[in-house]
Structure 1
Amino acid sequence: MSTEPLDEWLGAAWSEVPERLRPAVVDHIFGVDLVTMSSYAAIKARYVLDRLDPDRRGDFEDVAQDTMVELTATLPTERIRHWKALVIKRLQWQVLQDRRSRTAEKRHPGRRVDYESAVLVLEDHRSGDVEERLADRTVLLNALASITHAETAAVLRATFVIAEDGSYTDVLTTGEVAQDLRFSQQKVKRLRAAGAKLLRAAVRAQLDERDNEETP
Structure 2
Amino acid sequence: MARSKTSKAWMQEHVSDLYVRRAKAEGYRSRAAYKLMELDERDHLLRPGLWVVDLGAAPGGWSQVAAARVGKAGRVVAVDVLEMAPLPGVEFILGDFSEEATLVRVARALDGHAADLVLSDMAPNMSGMAEVDQARSLHLAELALEFCTRHLKPGGGLLVKVFQGAGFDGFVAELRRRFSRVAVRKPRSSRSRSAEVYLLATGFRGEPRPTQGDK
Alignment TM-score, normalising by the size of structure 2: 0.27
Say which one has the larger Rg: 1
- Higher helix proportion, which one? 1
> Structure 1 or 2: larger strand share?
2
Q: Which has the higher contact order (CA 8 A, sep 6+)?
A: 1
Give TM-score scaled by structure 1 length. 0.27
